[in-house]
Chains A and B, each alone.
Chain A
Amino acid sequence: MDSLSTISSKYRGKSSSLMNKFLDWLDDRSGIRSLVKEALYEKVPGGARWRYVWGSCLTFAFFTQVVTGTLLWMSYSPSAQTAWESVYFIQYQVWGGWFLRGVHHYMAQAMIVLLVLHLMQVMIDGAYKAPRELNFWFGIALLGVTLALSLTGYLLPWDQKGFWATAVATNLVAEVPLVGPMLQKIVVGGVEYGHQTITRFFALHAGVLPGALIALVVGHIYLFRKHGIHVKEPRPKRDSYFWPDQILKDGVACLAVLLAVVFLTLYFKGAPLGPPADPSNEFPARPEWYFLFLFQLLKYVPAFWGAVIIPLVFGLLIFLQPFIGASRKGHQFNVGFWWCLIAGAAGLTFLAFSEDQANVNHGAAVREADWQAQRVVQIAQEDGIPPTGAVALLREDHQNRGRRIFAAHCSSCHRYKGHNGRGYSVEEDQSAPELAGFASVDWVTKLLNYEHYVSPEYFGGTAFKEGTMANKVLKKFDEEETKLLPQVALLLSDLAELPYQEPLEEEQRERYMDIFYDDLACIDCHDIDSEGEGSAPDLTGYGSKKWMVDFIVNPEHERFYGKKNDRMPAFGRDDKLSMEEIEIVIDWIRSKPASE
């Protein structure tokens, strides 16, 4: 009795006689029954076993990638101005888009793991030896195509990670002797990365490589069927059939893969999307985890070795393995070779991870990239993405520019929460005040405390540490006077009109002004709303945007430090910063410091 009628007559009863009639009709015209029989009643010598499931799992994974990839394709747009933007759209706007993308992302990673398991099962069982040499080579080619699919895939979101990691990968292409540079131009679609890079990678990822993979899989399965399952004698169990015994095991394994991928997708809330690709925005380029060992290897060997010599030697060796494995010793060598390769890759991967963990600035760079990614999504959701693309959003964003201007021009002396404004530590010693929360009540309160004033956090690194304010004022306050300082702090901070602080009541302001004028006689040196020229900085509108602009333009102005200025550059007067840049960095300094 053949397969389809077995199922229909035995388990579905007479109600499906119509179905049977239809199948008879179809069979007469197509011979489908013998085809299905051929497919399902493959003999499994020694019985169904869990160790045979990997090939089916890989087929299932690839099938999932084709379907989810095609669905992603329906919303993806490959160009430098739309790739990140359409992926953002999928991730944040399309109903369930984040889940679809997550499944595609994590299934790609599952495929790499399954490939290694499949390969090791074949190696250990000796299923690569004669007469299966050809099929072994097909398998190795499939491994290569799958890795190429991964590599081309993670460029497509055109985010910083894809962009920089691909830049490294395509630079390695140039190492190929003679044709390398030409090959690189062909792959990149020119000298610079842009539209043509994405369209080419996308054609490879969604057309050429899946096509090649399907062709190779057909050959792989054909050859597998021709030679049958490789079983070690004596056979562990009675022979059985592919259907349903082995298929059930295969199905359960596929289900496990599926559940793992769904778990990862839910756990990480889909696949990550970094900030949009920007060649002017540095990024800690790291490939996906399964390429990390190659990345680490390139720290130890010249690029030419990593890109050409080692792959060639290993490739040749792998090609010859079916012949090497003909003898018992040879087989042992082959299995040992793969174990060493895996152990080596695992070791290098571990080194890559632990080196990054130990590198403070790498951690800062990752956090900075995370900040940018969140920021650009926030702007895109509030203001939309212009036709020029999302990279412009980040480049023009005042918060982002403020951080960058501070890091580039202020942070060699000043600090922001102890770092350079973008989270990186600074090598030089701090020699000017901390500016996070500048002019806020807390900040001014600390400023008026002698211990803080002379600490490196404020003026400890400047000439003012030994100045009049430190030694003749703050240090000399008696207990009564010290009690009045919090009110002076409130007054000064109120002058700053910070966007995140409530203004004082008029009555309070007058009372605190009396303290400033009379009780503590600050007015003797510092002006507020007065005509005379004090010997210390004018505090009229202290910390306000206008005050800060004037100060940063020229701190040597008589209103401010005059000749007592200690190394603070006149950024505006000497054209070190444009007025726009000065205002942007001031707005950023005056914004509320984010809580860590």
Chain B
Amino acid sequence: MTEENITSPDANSTNCCDEDSRRKFIVVSTLAVSAVCGVFPFAAGVTTILDPVKKSAGNKEKVPWTKVVPLTSLSEDGKPAKYEIILEQVQDAWTTYKNVPAGAVYLTRKGAGVTAFNLKCPHLGCAVDYRSKSNDYFCPCHNSTFGLDGSVTDVKSPSPRGLDTMDTKVEGGFVWIRFQQFRPNIVEKVPLS
């Protein structure tokens, strides 16, 4: 393209169609080039914004085992006891924290096996209490009641599901747990990761 071909919009042209197609070409090229330049800075960094979405997708199978307590310290009659979960390592973006309290669980012994309930109520995340008198779990915020097996016992309970269990194992005389949090207030148990 040469400068001779470019005319101002108010110039009178004898060959209207040639002028029109040339002008159309210039306008389309200009718009295209401007669009590329305008979009480029955003395109250069859009992946960095999407990064957290990409990271959470791959993590579901990577929940680490955390050592909680010797099996012998759990009562054999199945009475629940509350334990803090200290994660060996927690990654927050660029910082690696060691031995971080991440939450708490109720552990119940059943023979050689152990059941673990997350302390958080599946309704809206308040801390659930174990009531020894009635031998059940009770959420002091919105009065959800759960049986020893974790299921909702009172129909008036607002919690959409029972207490959240997590994988446990007994190894070397210790109870180990894959500690997780779950999405509150939905019927399905969906881990947050």
Contacts and interface: CB of A to CB of B under 8 A. Distances in A.
Contacts of B61: none
Contact of B94 (A1, A68, A93): A93
Contacts of A6: 9
Interface string A33-70: 00000000100000110000000000010011011100
Contacts of A85: 94-95
B29 interface: yes
A248 B26 contact: yes
Interface of B: 3, 6-9, 20, 23-24, 26-30, 33-34, 36-37, 40-42, 44-51, 54, 89, 91, 93-98
A103 B37 contact: no
Contact of A244 (B26, B48, B89): B26
A93 B44 CA distance: 16
List 10 A-B pairs, minimum CB-CB distance, nearest first: A384-B96, A96-B47, A71-B45, A251-B33, A67-B41, A89-B94, A100-B45, A85-B94, A244-B30, A95-B51
Contacts of A383: 96
B30 A248 contact: yes
A501 interface: no
A7 B44 contact: no
A252 B32 CA distance: 10
B48 A88 contact: no
B57 to A, nearest CB: 12
Interface in A253-293: 254-255, 258
Nearest to B98: A386
A146 interface: no
Interface stretch (A16-24, A233-241, A297-305, A416-424): A233-241
B6 A258 contact: no
B91 A384 contact: yes
Interface of A: 1, 6-7, 10-11, 41, 47-48, 60, 63-64, 66-68, 71-72, 74-75, 82, 85-86, 88-90, 93-97, 99-100, 103, 237-241, 243-245, 247-248, 251-252, 254-255, 258, 383-387
B34 to A, nearest CB: 5
Contacts of B24: 10-11
A99 B44 CA distance: 7
Contacts, number: 122
B37 A96 contact: no
Mostly, the B contact residues are helix
B37 A67 contact: no
Nearest to A107: B41
Given A72-B48, A244-B27, A386-B98, 13 more contacts: A11-B28, A64-B40, A67-B41, A90-B48, A93-B94, A95-B50, A103-B45, A244-B30, A245-B6, A245-B8, A251-B37, A258-B36, A258-B40
Contact of B48 (A7, A74, A243): A74
A72 B7 contact: no
A47 B41 contact: no
Contacts of B94: 82, 85-86, 88-89, 93, 385
B28 to A, nearest CB: 8
30 contacts: A1-B9, A48-B3, A60-B37, A63-B41, A64-B44, A71-B45, A71-B48, A71-B49, A72-B45, A74-B48, A75-B48, A85-B95, A95-B47, A95-B48, A96-B45, A99-B44, A100-B45, A103-B41, A240-B6, A241-B8, A245-B6, A248-B26, A248-B29, A251-B29, A255-B33, A255-B37, A384-B89, A386-B95, A386-B96, A386-B98
Nearest to A252: B33
B32 to A, nearest CB: 8
B43 to A, nearest CB: 10
A96 B49 CA distance: 9
Contact of B51 (A7, A72, A97, A99): A97
A72 B45 CA distance: 8
A342 B77 CA distance: 87
B3 A47 contact: yes
Given A86-B94, A385-B96, A247 B34 contact: yes
Contacts of A75: 48, 93
Given A254-B33, A384-B89, A67 B26 contact: no
Nearest to A88: B94
A258 B37 contact: yes
B41 A247 contact: no
Contacts of B48: 71-72, 74-75, 90, 94-97, 100
Contacts of A68: 41, 44-45
A95 B52 CA distance: 9
Contacts of B47: 95-96, 99-100
Nearest to A43: B8
Contacts of B89: 384
A127 to B, nearest CB: 21
Contacts of B23: 244
A56 B10 CA distance: 25
B45 A7 contact: no
A63 B33 CA distance: 15
Nearest to A85: B94
B26 to A, nearest CB: 5
Contacts of A95: 47-48, 50-51, 54
Given A48-B3, A96-B48, A241 B9 contact: yes
A74 B49 contact: yes
A95 B49 CA distance: 8
B3 A248 contact: no
Nearest to B53: A95
